[in-house]
Copies of this chain bind each other. A is one copy, B any other.
């Protein structure tokens, strides 16, 4: 193994000092054109390679950014990360990913290890509704490095977030179902302690009241975001004396489960029951009975998150909180088209 060459080696070879070499390598103006040239040339000859670690230690800037999500193997989160990585790559940053599996302790641990690794910022979709009471969280604030929430945010003064308008999304989905003639609209929600799920629920409620439809608590079911939970929810709904004629689900996966159960019971979609999901996972489009859903433009969400981060590192002094709210798009497919 050839020992790695440092700026010292190349300085020795040229009978100059390491400082000069460093200047040549960093486009420092205080250097003559000639020496700069020869330094760059011999650097190339000696296969010199920057040690970003040493730079990071010296400059207090690692050019690493931590991204924390619950899990990466869902199209929604994977797409966000795609957007983040693509955008940050252009600015020389690397993306470190961490998964919490929705576990609060994992989330705290991930924050701590990221901070110890001296990341320049943390972008996260929260797994803990009380994150602001968490010590690890406070460490981020203390360090004064940018912290950004995307998707699962918590509204905290001074902390920027990038989300879609979940209230509007819930409203749009519900209004659409009403427009299709549905009158008893169920809502499959997830933990409403998270703002995104509460907002979708509130949008749903508002659309109902705007259309003079009485809100019926028994039509709201809290589920996990998976197929089995969707089936269970549908079973409950179909047992009601007065079952729903539509389901708006905060998750594509529970929407799919509900659809499977409904069809298994011989009930027709969309004629008897219309269904709208959430997130526009690829399968919703591919199915023969394609599923209507809310598109959250995750790649754009990721890119935007990255851009806000870049802005914040550039204006470290005059940091301004940004609450970016992207527009959700209702995508109407067969599961809710009665025309």
Chain A residues within CB distance 8 Å of chain B: 1-2, 4, 49-54, 56-57, 62-64, 71-75, 78-79, 81-82, 85-86, 89, 92, 94-99, 113-118, 139, 142-144, 256, 281-283, 286-289, 299
When chains A and B are docked, how far (Å) is the Cα of A99 from the Cα of B78?
Answer: 12
* Min distance, Cβ A106 to any Cβ of chain B, angstroms: 9
| Chain B residues in 8 Å Cβ range of A82 | 71-73, 99
When chains A and B are docked, how far (Å) is the Cα of A86 from the Cα of B89?
Answer: 24
**Sample of 4 more A-B contacts, CB < 8 Å, known A4-B143, A53-B57:** A82-B99, A85-B97, A95-B96, A288-B288
| Chain B residues in 8 Å Cβ range of A95 | 96-97
A116 in complex: contacting residue of B49, B57, B81, CB < 8 Å: B49
| Chain B residues in 8 Å Cβ range of A89 | 98-99
* Min distance, Cβ A267 to any Cβ of chain B, angstroms: 15
List 20 A–B pairs whose Cβ atoms lie within 8 Å, in order of A's numbering. A51-B57, A52-B116, A52-B118, A53-B57, A53-B117, A63-B117, A64-B117, A71-B82, A72-B72, A73-B75, A73-B299, A94-B96, A95-B97, A283-B283, A283-B287, A286-B286, A287-B287, A287-B288, A288-B288, A288-B289
Report the copy number of this chain in the oligomer.
Answer: 2
* Min distance, Cβ A74 to any Cβ of chain B, angstroms: 8
When chains A and B are docked, how far (Å) is the Cα of A139 from the Cα of B2?
Answer: 11
Q: Are B287 and A96 in contact (CB under 8 A)?
A: no
Q: Which of A54, A96, A117 has the most CB of B within 10 A?
A: A117
Q: Are A97 and B81 in contact (CB under 8 A)?
A: yes
Q: Are B99 and A96 in contact (CB under 8 A)?
A: no
When chains A and B are docked, how far (Å) is the Cα of A62 from the Cα of B54?
Answer: 11
Q: Are B62 and A85 in contact (CB under 8 A)?
A: no
| Chain B residues in 8 Å Cβ range of A74 | 78
| Chain B residues in 8 Å Cβ range of A116 | 49-52
When chains A and B are docked, how far (Å) is the Cα of A37 from the Cα of B72?
Answer: 40
A282 in complex: contacting residue of B2, B62, B139, B283, CB < 8 Å: B283
A99 in complex: contacting residue of B57, B86, B118, CB < 8 Å: B86
* Min distance, Cβ A220 to any Cβ of chain B, angstroms: 25
| Chain B residues in 8 Å Cβ range of A51 | 57, 116, 118
Q: Are A286 and B113 in contact (CB under 8 A)?
A: no
For the complex of A and B, list the 7 residue pairs with the smallest distance between their C-beta atoms, beginning with the closest: A283-B283, A78-B78, A73-B78, A53-B118, A283-B286, A73-B79, A52-B117
